Amino acid sequence: MTGVQTRQLVSRLDIKGNLEVTLRMAEVHASGPHGLTVQMDAAPINPADVKAMFCGIALADLQFSNEHGIPVVRGQLSRQALSAHASRIGKDVPLGNEGTGLVVATGDSDDVRGMLGQRVSMASSGTFADLRSVSVDDCIVMPSSASAESSASAWINPMTALAMTETMLREGHRALVLTAAGSSLGKMLNRLCLEDSIPLVNVVRSQEAVCMLRDIGARYVCDSSDDGFSGQLLDALIGSGATLAFDATGGGALAGKILLTMEQAAVRHAQIADRYGSTVHKQLYFFGGLDPTPVTFSRSFGMAWGMGGWLLQSVLANFEPSVVAAMKARVRESLNSVFASEYRKVIALEDMLLPDNIADYAQLGTGGKVLIKP
């Protein structure tokens, strides 16, 4: 399919730090021999989308206008903030990272020619659009009975949850810690870990999130806003044996707190301690950036530890194709149970840049996602 245009939500920065977010017309490029062209039905807004859209500019600092019937949002980045986004200066960044739709055109390879009319869930940049071209490798073919709502969020959170437990197994851990666990991903990972009998320690920021996770069967839930958080976390790590953590906050002192408490739990288990600490390896991966402040910690958790980044696309690329295929199959099988998503609001593509809608989806809190329907 060539010569066809689509509406596409884009974000653009210039060299002076001027930000513009708007709907543009863009050409739908040929999808290649193993590619699909998809008529988009729905796409969720994830935290990474908001970050890419506004580059951290506060809602109060955005300016709104309507130019020839097209909404436009503008803002200004400081010189210091602009340096972190140097790679995107002067480029239209297509927004949206996942979504679902029906295949309306395919490449000519045998693996895609029979897919016309099928519903797929995809992981691809630029899903806030009417049409999108994507490689078949970045798609999950949905059951014929699957709705747009159930399929829209069938990639990032489900594959993240499965990749986290796969990482745990490959690295020799037996239990997990997840921060910001009251999120859609957190609920999903809890259901997965319950089904697979994997102990999961949930770190949340409110009593409301504690109650919500308890209601779905979570055993270990620690409230970082509670005065007793340190004791809660230690008890949970002793009880679960968790030595692997995935941190969605990406800032502040929480990561160091988790590693320190893992070390305390390891010493309790071994009942020994020397000047180098325990020999139990403790690993923490950052996979989000909800907290923009620097990561701070006191290196008081022995010598057997590690911190690093964890990106779903890179992790999946290191898994064997058979493992990724099995993960996709499990998502299809449990689409409406383990991997079900909740939405608190549905808005049209052309309404994404209305101030009230931005104020809603930019909260990045719990309580379900916002779903975009072109």
Q: Please report which helix (H) or strand (E) contains residue 189, including its range.
A: helix 184-196
Q: Is the pLDDT of residue 284 over 70?
A: yes
CATH value of 5-154+341-373 in 3.40.605.10, 3.40.50.970, 3.90.180.10, 3.40.50.150: 3.90.180.10
Average pLDDT over residues 166-173: 98
For position 24, what pLDDT does the model report? 95
User: CB atoms < 10 A from the CB of 171, how many?
Assistant: 13
Separation in Å, CA 273 to CA 263, 265, 297: 10, 11, 21
Separation in Å, CA 209 to CA 156, 187, 219, 232: 22, 10, 13, 15
Q: Is the pLDDT of residue 340 over 70?
A: yes
For position 271, what pLDDT does the model report? 60
- Short-list 226, 224, 200, 225, CA closest to 213: 200
Who contacts 95 (Cβ-Cβ below 8 Å, separation ≥6)? 9, 10, 11, 21, 49, 52, 53, 125, 126, 128
Q: Which amino acid is at 251?
A: G
Average pLDDT over residues 67-74: 93
Q: Is the pLDDT of residue 120 over 80?
A: yes
- Short-list 19, 126, 22, CA closest to 81: 19
Cα–chain-centroid distance for residue 258?
Answer: 21
Order of strands across the sheet that contains 70-76: 63-67, 70-76, 18-27, 5-13, 92-94
Q: Is the pLDDT of residue 30 over 90?
A: no
**Looking at 30-44, 92-106, 228-242, which range is the least confident one?**
30-44
Long-range contact set of residues 114-122: C-beta below 8 Å, sequence gap at least 24: 115/36, 115/141, 118/142, 118/144, 119/41, 119/144, 119/146, 119/148, 119/151, 120/36, 120/38, 120/151, 121/151, 121/152, 121/154, 121/155, 121/331, 122/38, 122/98, 122/155
- Short-list 257, 123, 246, CA closest to 185: 246
| Domain spans, the chain | 5-154+341-373, 157-315
pLDDT tens readout for residues 268-283: 887 666 788 899 999 9
Mean pLDDT of the chain: 94
pLDDT tens readout for residues 301-327: 999 999 999 999 999 999 999 999 999
Q: Is the pLDDT of residue 207 over 90?
A: yes
For position 177, what pLDDT does the model report? 99
Separation in Å, CA 275 to CA 178, 259, 301, 303, 354: 29, 17, 10, 9, 58
- pLDDT-derived band at 31 (thresholds 50, 70, 90) equals confident
- pLDDT-derived band at 366 (thresholds 50, 70, 90) equals low
**CATH 3.40.50.720 at 157-315, yes or no:** yes
Q: Is the pTM of this model over 0.85?
A: yes
The torsion region of residue 241 among left (phi > 0), alpha (psi -120 to 50) and beta comes to left
Report how far residue 318's alpha carbon sits from residue 352's, in angstroms, rounded to the nearest whole number.
35
- pLDDT-derived band at 235 (thresholds 50, 70, 90) equals very high
Average pLDDT over residues 288-310: 93
